[in-house]
Amino acid sequence: TSNPSIFEKAIAGSDLYDEQLASLGGLDPQAAFETLAVADIQHAADILAGVFDSSGGNDGYVSLEVSPRLAHDTAATIADAMRLWNVVNRPNLMVKVPATKAGIPAIEELTAAGVNVNATLMFSLEHYEDVASAYVRGAERASDPSTLASVASFFVSRVDSATDAALENVGTEDALRLRGKAAVANAKLAYRRYGEIFNGRPFASLRARGTRPQRVLWASTSTKNPSYSDVMYIEELIGKNTVNTAPPDTIEAFLDHGTVRADSLCDQVEEAQILIASLPDVGVDFDAITSELQVAGVAAFSAAFDTLLAAIVRKQPGTLV
């Protein structure tokens, strides 16, 4: 996967791209960035082409995000996504679209147009339901839905970080005992909804036409709190038709001391629902937290993008501003 923060660290935080930037003199910063990003994404897609082919198009995808500046503009998001889809020109590309209010109709339209979409920045069950419904609606309108592939990127550890802070602010015994539990519970409820939609009636006619379900992708799965297990967001989120984009350190930790519990996502789902429902009772507005996390996520990606473009200006003195 890729996002503005990843590219910002790679381009602004190293000299790996300096030679390429020097060869792009005269391009405006955004055009220079896109040239670098598209080349990287095409290269990654070509490396993964064997996986894509051998899996029948189920795996081997690479993601490129639309400009975060467009997160609240449906028409511009659609246009940018279509342009990137055509420029990269790889069947194993997914275009990342934030699951904002403006992003949801864009996800539907892009899916209907045959574009593989990675719906990102999802933090709540409502976000998930909106994205899954948009995919189903779009697939129903696609000329050949059997060619589609899509994931719904559901963020995990950030939910615990924000919810834990709210619980600690309340400070009662009932509140404090819920720390470190909201993110996994939230994810389990989203996965249950995935099963209801894609294994049930809403997707039945599309399934009969060979359409792939939109898989859930667990994002932000490194543990931020050192007092928690460093593999908790892998061990607790194992289930069919899911993807986990864990960072290398978390993968190494899981290989070293993680435990595989088949379909752990299906364990204690009723308890997860009770836990999420209990948050308002202890004084925590979970809906507000997840909404604010999405707003903050868009802002963080936009800030990273601005930092990235500023770094290109510094590294390429002849760049047009």
Q: Which of 121-135, 225-239, 276-290, 302-316 has the lowest mean pLDDT?
A: 302-316
For residue 171, the SS3 value is coil
Looking at residue 259, its amino acid is T
- pTM for this one? 0.94
What are residue 148's phi and psi, to 5 degrees?
-75, 145
Burial profile 34-62: b = 16 or more Cβ within 10 angstroms, e = fewer: bbbbeebbbebbeebeeebeeeebeebbb
Beta bridge partners of 244: 218
pLDDT greater than 70 at residue 293:
yes
CATH for 4-315? 3.20.20.70
Instruction: Give the pLDDT band (50/70/90) at residue 279.
Output: very high
pLDDT greater than 90 at residue 319:
no
pLDDT tens profile 140-158: 999 999 999 999 999 999 9
For residue 73, the SS3 value is coil
Q: Which of 96, 181, 188, 315 is catalytic?
A: 96
Is beta strand 150-155 parallel, antiparallel or unpaired with respect to 117-122?
parallel
- pLDDT, residue 140, reads 98
Alpha-carbon distance of 23 to 318, in angstroms, equals 11
Active site residue 9: no
Beta bridge partners of 240: none
pLDDT tens profile 168-218: 999 999 999 999 999 999 999 999 999 999 999 989 999 999 999 999 999
Place of tokens 């500046």: 69
Mean pLDDT of 43-55: 98
Alpha-carbon distance of 53 to 60, in angstroms, equals 8
pLDDT greater than 90 at residue 128:
yes
What percent of the chain clears pLDDT 70, i.e. is strictly above it? 98
Is residue 65 within a helix (H) or strand (E), and if so which, with residue range?
Answer: strand 62-65
Contact 94, 151 (CB under 8 A): yes
Q: Where do runs of H (alpha helix) occur along 48-122?
A: 49-54, 74-88, 103-112
